[in-house]
Amino acid sequence: MQKKLVLVSIVLTMLVVVLAGCGQGTTKKESNKLQVITTFYPVYEFTKAVAGDKADITMLMPAGTEPHDYEPSAKDISKISRSDIFIYSSDNMETWVKSLKSSIDEKQTQILNASHSIKMIDENDELKSEEAELANKEEESSFSSTSNYDPHIWLDPENAKEMVKNISKELIQQDPKNEKYYVKRTNTYLKKLTELNQDYKTTFKNAKNKTFVTQHAAFAYLAKQYGLTQVAIAGISSDEEPSPKRLAELQTYIKKYDVDTIFTESNDSSKIANMLAKETNIKVKGLNPIEGLSKVQIEDGETYLSVMQDNLKSLKTVVK
């Protein structure tokens, strides 16, 4: 009887171990491919463009998730710890990564900041410039002098190219036997980004009006690359609300310079923009910061490249 109980105990223990393993998903030992976790859509697309079918790429944040508000769950951290490579955009976008590192064995899981070689724009410098633009004069800014870097680096195709190169280097380092494959795919995608960059340059080269008004201050890198000026209703976060003073300044600015369009995102943060547009009798159009694509957009085959082309079409109705 005692021997039987011992045997049952051993079987149950083995069953628990097996079930626990089943719940873990694919691990490095179960697949010859690199297991790569990416944070949100642009990072996922850039990684997929390089890796092709030589790696299993997972996007941590589900379609429709707001990246600014995201915090990883224990399950997410477990997924990351079982991957070969974890790739994120920047410490200024995924602010939680710094604390995550204490939970990850970096000898087992390589962590890549895809923007480590890119110079960030300080949001306060950007907003001071916009404030001067609104007031049409130099004056002291009410914004804090504390650095708060704008994380929307991928909206400049040149920055996107730099991110792709960094991702490619990491994949090659971790999987050198497929170097030629990764290099070929990297060059193909870089060529597409170069063409995108040229489309933007050509469109805005001789523009006389180079200012555009947005709901979300996400387009500083794009504006800087092409000599444009972004005037934003709110700040870096899409759900940030503007002060009454800024709304009043914007109303004055819109009337003074005959602004006819406000660019918004298709979410609740557009309410204030719609209200301002109604009060000033101007149009509202979409401009996508590509922080994530919806499930429908992904199913319809939309990509970073296609959405950037859509943004160009929208911008050239104002910047002309």
219 strand-pairing partners: none
Residue 85 has pLDDT above 80, yes or no: yes
262 to 57, 66, 103, 237, 319: CA distances (angstroms): 36, 22, 43, 17, 12
176-181 contact pairs (CB < 8 A, 24+) = 178/54, 181/52, 181/54
Q: Would you state the pLDDT for residue 238? A: 57
Find out whether 93 and 121 touch, Cβ atoms under 8 Å. no
Mean pLDDT of the chain: 84
Token pair listed for 261: 């369009």
User: What are the pLDDT digits (tens) for 124-164?
Assistant: 665 555 555 565 543 343 333 334 889 999 999 999 999 99
DSSP assignment, residue 218? -
Q: What is the CATH number of domain 121-151+205-315?
A: 3.40.50.1980
Most confident segment among 120-124, 161-165, 263-267 = 161-165
Binning pLDDT at 50, 70 and 90, where does residue 55 land?
very high
Q: Which residues of 113-125 are buried (b: 16+ CB within 10 A; e: fewer)?
A: bbbeebebbebbb
Q: Which residues contact 24 (CB under 8 A, 6 or more apart)?
A: 78, 82
Nearest one of 159, 283, 266, 278 to 216, comparing CA atoms: 266
User: Residue ranges of the domains in the chain?
Assistant: 121-151+205-315
Interior CA angle at 265 toward 144 and 308, to 5°? 100
Q: Would you state the pLDDT for residue 247? A: 87
Q: Would you state the pLDDT for residue 246? A: 83
Q: Would you state the pLDDT for residue 80? A: 97
Interior CA angle at 124 toward 45 and 152, to 5°? 5
Binning pLDDT at 50, 70 and 90, where does residue 11 land?
very low
Place of tokens 């504390």: 146
pTM recorded for the entire structure: 0.84
User: What are the pLDDT digits (tens) for 230-245?
Assistant: 998 877 665 567 788 8
149 strand-pairing partners: 122
The whole-angstrom distance between residue 284's C-alpha and the CA centroid of its chain comes to 23
Residue 5 has pLDDT above 70, yes or no: no
User: What are the pLDDT digits (tens) for 186-223?
Assistant: 999 999 999 999 999 999 999 999 999 998 889 999 99
End-to-end CA gap in the chain: 88
Residue 178 has pLDDT above 50, yes or no: yes
Binning pLDDT at 50, 70 and 90, where does residue 25 land?
very low
Residue 105 has pLDDT above 60, yes or no: yes
